[in-house]
Structure 1
Amino acid sequence: MGGDERTTFPEAAVMRSCTSEFVARLTARNRLPLDYSVASLRLVDLVVDGLRRDQPQRNRVAGTLLGLGAYTGEVIVRRAGGTWVDFDAAQRELFRQAVGVRMPDGRVWNPLGKVVNRFESGAEESVQRLYLLLHGRTAQWKAVCG
């Protein structure tokens, strides 16, 4: 992910490194505490809300939205035991993304798309709430975020 606001992400095998690069650039410029914690997902929602507030065209912030979606996915991978996966053709069509996260129970999640949905629809779409939907994570979320 360069400064060109790229609108696609590479394959699952390199998601972690791309996400790390995005986070390093974003935190260096804005001093955001993106530390891959569950609690930091609230900050992702707030950043997307800030992008929405200025009402830009989605294509102007597409790279940032995808970076925030990748960050969300990486939190799920690190904190909930998910794995980055390349979507098959049917999943790509359904999710409109090339990669997602598969949980140990086999369910597949679309964190990149969730961030785009937050941008397009507002507060009813939340990466913070997405984490609550992960199997067995409600109690942990309440303990971390009160």
Structure 2
Amino acid sequence: MTTFQETRPSAAAKPVRWAADAVAVMREGARLRLDYSAQSLWRVDRVIDEMRRDEVPYAAVEKALRGFGAYAGEVIVRQAGGEWWASGGEHWLRTPDGRLWDPVDEARRCFLGDGSLRLLCREAMAAAAKSTQ
């Protein structure tokens, strides 16, 4: 059980920076433009899939995965009205329907072959849309 929670802006500071770093690295290194749209998560999932297929060691991509997860979280924040929450050094999102999401962990799961940032975003956006109807 979490006893202390922070809301935006303090809880968002680190994930927003991680996401911006991922956008910059993808633009400069891979020549991919990430625009914080739900569609851009297709590209992120493909990049993670390529890293897995190339058998890159987890330790070598850990920070990149954190950045990709934070990027997906920022897509959800911007598209579905979610907000970052933090406790004990962990960061997650809460969408307007009250559900909690962990996009950073989802990026790790993608790397292990058992996740999708695109699908996480789609599910979070659908849940948020239902709560406003």
TM range, smaller chain = 0.7 to 0.9
Mean CA deviation greater in 46-55 or 19-28: 19-28
2:121 corresponds to 1:131 = yes
Task: Show the counterpart of 1:58.
Answer: 58
State, as a whole percentage, how many aligned pairs show the same letter: 39
Residue 65 of structure 1: CA displacement? Answer: 0.7
Report the CA distance shift for 1:61/1:18 in structure 2 as closer, same or farther (over 3 A). closer
State whether residues 69 and 106 of structure 2, in contact with CA within 8 Å, keep that contact through their aligned partners in structure 1. yes
Stretches of structure 2 lacking an aligned partner (at least 5 in a row): 1-9
Q: Does 1:76 align with 2:76?
A: yes
Deviation at 1:107, TM superposition (A): 0.8
CA-based RMSD of the aligned residues comes to: 1.9
Per the alignment, residue 98 of structure 1 pairs with 90
**How many residues are aligned here?**
118
Q: Tell me how far apart the structure 1 counterparts of residues 128 and 74 of structure 2 sit (CA, whole Å).
A: 18
Q: Distance in 2 between matches of 1:106 and 1:136?
A: 9
Deviating more after overlay: 73-82 vs 20-29? 20-29
Give the secondary-structure state (helix, strand or coil) at the position aligned to 2:108.
Answer: helix
Moved over 3 A (4+): none
1:137 Cα deviation from its structure 2 partner:
5.2
Which whole-Å deviations, capped at 9, do the CAs of 1:30-75 have from their partners, x for residues lacking one? 1112110110011111010011011122111101111111111110
**Retained in 1: the 8 A contact 2:69–2:105?**
yes
TM-score (norm: length of structure 2): 0.80
**How big is each residue's C-alpha offset from its partner over 1:76-110, in whole Å with a ceiling of 9 and x where there is no partner?**
011111101103x5xxxxxxx71011111111100
